Structure 1
Amino acid sequence: MVATPCAVPRLTSGSRLEIAGVAIAIIVAYLYLHRRRVYHLHNGQRLPHPPGPKPAPIIGNLFDIPREKESAAYNKMANDYGDLTYLNVLGKSILVVNNYTTVQELFDKRSANYSDRYQAPMTELMGWSWNFGLMSYGILCISHQHSQQSVGSRWKMHRAMFHRQFQSSTVSVFWPTQLKEAHKLLRRILHNPKDLANHLRFNSAGIIMNVAYGIEIEDKDDHYITVAETALDGMAKAANPGAFLVDIFPILKYVPSWIPGADFQRKAAFWRKSVLEMRDAPFETVTKARKFGILTSSFASNLLADLELRRDLDEVALAKELETIRNCAGLAYAAGTESIASSLSSFILAMMLYPEVQEKARQELDAVVGLERLPDFSDRGTLPYIDAVVKEVFRWNPVAPLGLPHMTTKDDEFKGYHIPAGTLVLGNSW
């Protein structure tokens, strides 16, 4: 008798989606119940959480997380719930602080518990783990250049290097570059005032590329600019807590990109390419230029020059220093590209909305500087009204009103409320 082959059921694409959906639902339910159990174990006094939107079963406040204009949306929540707004997304706690005094109380007076950074899986997948602004201060991490290094010491190393070049007593070395780019901006606006947005974009990139690397930007579509804009666009989307499911359930970062619902993996891979190119390409340009004897004054070049004089470093220590210079220069580039253009845009908007302020500032400028030359940094101390206007613009329309999320390292009680360990804490300055 001839054996009949067994019929093997074949999964259709619809079946795969159903199975994936069921699996995800089971994982979500398990993690939700697990976090509920942990909450009851740690909140012995059964204190309430701060007020916030009513959570739905299991998913919590998933659909209450704003996807755009986050600062304004959280500020609107503050009108309903007060200075502290608490949300819970699939078991992950998020606290938005909408009052300056409360921000000081938590971030300054209780800084030992509120100063850590959340290691968002999405930003890690996107290649931002080198950004010391996102580094945690205490846990251990695996570095691609050395086996195991304290994140706390790694963060301190980056911060010290960054501060050394950008402290108030040393930044004057970059004033000539800023002045030169400011004059270029004025000429562009004079010749083509309708293209203001691109002029501001070009100006901010020109300043920061010169300051960070000593590189002259060729035009508004320079490859350095477009790469940075792609990388920063991804960061802006990932910065909002809860925007990607992998940030709520970190285990999902191990899910392959072809699994239904894992489109975050494909997006992360796309952004990662730009993030690493943004950091590495200009740094390689500087190191190659130095090998050919082309020396310019810039953040990266100055630090490389100092490093070349060091004779006390072995191969491992030298690699760490080079990595830190590369990372710090990349952060200066990333942070400055968007913030300069945004600040200038806010200033121009303010002058359009408040022409009487513009007129008073012009009168001070004419009286102090005169009509025969343009102002420079030496005039700053004699222009108190203009200095106050600039500071007010920063307050009125901050570039990053939510800043970077902080994270609690242990459970806390504040004003009769329970704030769990691992809570993302956002200071909203909107």
Structure 2
Amino acid sequence: MPMVRPWEGLRELCHKYGDILGMTIMGSPVVVLNSANDISQYLDGHSATTSSRPRSASQELLDLTGLFAFMPYGPEWRLHRRTMWQYFTPTAVTKYIPAIQTSSRITLHKLLEAPDRFEEHFQDSVGATLMKVVYGLDAKYENDESLMTIDKGLESGRESLVPGRFLVDVIPILRFLPPFFPSQKRFSRLREQTARMYDMPYSLHKAAAMRGDMGDCILSDMLSQFTSKPDDNIYDPTVNPVGDRVARGVTAVTFAAGSDTTCAVLKTFVLAMSLNPDVLKRAHAETDAVVGPTRLPDLEDRDALPYVYAMYLETLRWMQVVPLGLAHNTTEDEQFGDYFVPAGTMILANIWACMHDPNTYHEPASFAPERFLRDGKLDPEVRNPNDFVFGFGRRICPGRHYAESDIFLTMAHIIHVFDIRPPVDEDGREVAIEPRMVNGFVSWPEDCRCRITPRTPHAATLIVDEFAQRLNQG
């Protein structure tokens, strides 16, 4: 198994041996699918038997098995999935648009004041929006303790999802080492961070609710669905044990899944803009024509901004946030084409290979939004990245409609009011940035330095005015 950017190495192996690659990792069978057709036919077409998740010793040591993203396919997973999905249908997502709009305007203002800290601003903005939507809490946009706690809690998930990262997954008996061993101390630290990720925002929400200082949010509504009497204390785990368990798991996964990935997409976007000034110029022209100089774009403008939407699609395609997706696991012996796939086989979908297939995308290393357009409209004949980057079968991401709205709106806002150019050195010469992805389960550009400046003085004024107006509204 290639260890450095394995999605690239696996594609090379498949070029040599075929699109369906079988191997053994840590004594377990693994199948790698590099073809979009194979992925769709197997993970979508055989979803009843390919929707489980592989288990590892590290996930158990880190207490991650309670997160439903890691759960095996079965009744408990279906309960969690059904509970989460109702809050992220296309209709339900419309309720969260005001929170997304507020957060985006705050981000624009922060980019105006401190553009060199754009990565921090993206992280804070995404986290604060999710904190409001999921927990009903108003997080600070800098140095917020709850956001920092959740980010630390995400570390264990990031680590455990990289094959071979922990020796205990290769030699499972190491899980029984005494607690004073360095590896066990590390697991203890990560496990504590995970527990705090579960507990801290939940406790803050509960405290606010007990004070009568809590408005509508996903968590309170979710808890109330699991009680039978209107006067039951929905926050008492002895009264509402199922609700407490499911709500903690679902809200933690919602935050974890949305935080890292959305920030990674936005980092990719600014890098792409700095490297492709002609693309940004064309997007400027489109937003100027459709939106005009007196306001910011909103989601109702999406259909009238096909090039900007194509930029969203190209950002997802160009650098995949999760290049190999979350691994699936088979639950039955079965035949797939000419291949026998035994139960307990890990299935890896090389999403990166599908999105960089030269037979589908001409010059796939180039950032070219126009590849998704024909006669000024989206071309339905071109493979849509949305159909791959959010997962497959019954494990498709339930928050994909929320993610698309958040990312598109933030991108459209930034395009409308900012120029994005390459960084410069001490002598004022532009620095050439090589677009390379970091090696990890969640990936983003290794280097996305750039210069972000207002397009015009009027654009800077619009940012300030929109920011002030949004603060006055709430």
Return the TM-score normalized by structure 1: 0.75
The alignment status of 1:203 with 2:203, answered yes or no, reads no
The alignment status of 1:175 with 2:75, answered yes or no, reads no
C-alpha distance in 2 between matches for 1:286 and 1:401: 34
C-alpha distance in 2 between matches for 1:74 and 1:158: 33
The alignment status of 1:339 with 2:261, answered yes or no, reads yes
Q: Offset at 1:173?
A: 0.7
The 8 Å contact of residues 92 and 248 in structure 1, kept in 2 or not, is answered as no
Q: Offset at 1:252?
A: 3.8
What runs of 5+ residues in structure 1 fail to find an aligned partner?
1-63, 138-151
C-alpha distance in 1 between matches for 2:339 and 2:239: 46
The alignment status of 1:120 with 2:39, answered yes or no, reads no
Q: Offset at 1:284?
A: 1.1
| Residues 292-337 of structure 1, C-alpha deviations (whole Å, 9 max, x = no match) | 1112222213324555674599987721012111211111111111
Query: Residue 241 of structure 2 corresponds to which residue in structure 1?
Result: 319
What runs of 5+ residues in structure 2 fail to find an aligned partner?
353-474
The alignment status of 1:411 with 2:333, answered yes or no, reads yes
The 8 Å contact of residues 330 and 347 in structure 2, kept in 1 or not, is answered as yes
The alignment status of 1:78 with 2:14, answered yes or no, reads yes
The alignment status of 1:273 with 2:192, answered yes or no, reads yes
Q: 1:347 to 1:377 in 2, by over 3 A?
A: same
Out of 245-254 and 209-218, give the one that drifted further: 245-254
Q: Offset at 1:190?
A: 0.8
Q: Offset at 1:171?
A: 0.7
| One-letter amino acid of the structure 1 residue matched with residue 317 of structure 2 | R
| One-letter amino acid of the structure 1 residue matched with residue 328 of structure 2 | H
C-alpha distance in 1 between matches for 2:166 and 2:194: 18
* Percent identical residues: 30
Out of 92-101 and 410-419, give the one that drifted further: 410-419
Out of 158-167 and 224-233, give the one that drifted further: 224-233
The alignment status of 1:107 with 2:43, answered yes or no, reads yes
Query: Residue 212 of structure 2 corresponds to which residue in structure 1?
Result: 293
Out of 128-137 and 264-273, give the one that drifted further: 264-273
Out of 405-414 and 123-132, give the one that drifted further: 405-414
Query: Residue 429 of structure 1 corresponds to which residue in structure 2?
Result: 351
Larger helix proportion, structure 1 or 2?
1
1:303 corresponds, among 222, 238, 243, to 222
C-alpha distance in 2 between matches for 1:371 and 1:190: 17
1:234 corresponds, among 156, 164, 174, to 156
| Residues 106-163 of structure 1, C-alpha deviations (whole Å, 9 max, x = no match) | 11222232221112221121121221111112xxxxxxxxxxxxxx221111111101
Q: Offset at 1:220?
A: 3.0
Query: Residue 450 of structure 2 corresponds to which residue in structure 1?
Result: none
| Residues 151-191 of structure 1, C-alpha deviations (whole Å, 9 max, x = no match) | x2211111111011111111111101110110011111111
Q: Offset at 1:197?
A: 1.4
C-alpha distance in 1 between matches for 2:286 and 2:184: 54
Q: 1:407 to 1:308 in 2, by over 3 A?
A: closer
C-alpha distance in 2 between matches for 1:317 and 1:251: 39
C-alpha distance in 2 between matches for 1:325 and 1:229: 19
1:29-428 correspondence to structure 2 within 5 Å: 64-66=1-3, 68-137=4-73, 152-258=74-180, 263-306=182-225, 310-311=229-230, 318-428=240-350
C-alpha distance in 1 between matches for 2:230 and 2:104: 40
Q: 1:221 to 1:321 in 2, by over 3 A?
A: same
| One-letter amino acid of the structure 2 residue matched with residue 303 of structure 1 | M
| One-letter amino acid of the structure 1 residue matched with residue 213 of structure 2 | I
The 8 Å contact of residues 222 and 243 in structure 2, kept in 1 or not, is answered as no
Q: Offset at 1:371?
A: 0.3
Q: 1:389 to 1:219 in 2, by over 3 A?
A: closer
Q: Offset at 1:90?
A: 4.0
Q: 1:153 to 1:415 in 2, by over 3 A?
A: closer
The 8 Å contact of residues 212 and 329 in structure 1, kept in 2 or not, is answered as yes
C-alpha distance in 2 between matches for 1:102 and 1:282: 41
The 8 Å contact of residues 65 and 242 in structure 1, kept in 2 or not, is answered as no
Q: How many residues align?
A: 349
| One-letter amino acid of the structure 1 residue matched with residue 57 of structure 2 | P
C-alpha distance in 2 between matches for 1:421 and 1:242: 21
C-alpha distance in 2 between matches for 1:324 and 1:413: 35
The 8 Å contact of residues 213 and 282 in structure 1, kept in 2 or not, is answered as yes
C-alpha distance in 2 between matches for 1:301 and 1:312: 14
C-alpha distance in 1 between matches for 2:184 and 2:11: 31
Instruction: Supply the RMSD in Å over aligned alpha carbons.
Output: 2.3
Please state whether the residue corresponding to 2:164 is helix, strand or coil: coil
Please state whether the residue corresponding to 2:64 is helix, strand or coil: coil
C-alpha distance in 2 between matches for 1:220 and 1:80: 49
| Residues 61-95 of structure 1, C-alpha deviations (whole Å, 9 max, x = no match) | xxx441x4232332333333331222213422222
| One-letter amino acid of the structure 2 residue matched with residue 167 of structure 1 | T
Q: 1:351 to 1:418 in 2, by over 3 A?
A: same
Return the TM-score normalized by structure 2: 0.69
Q: 1:160 to 1:415 in 2, by over 3 A?
A: closer
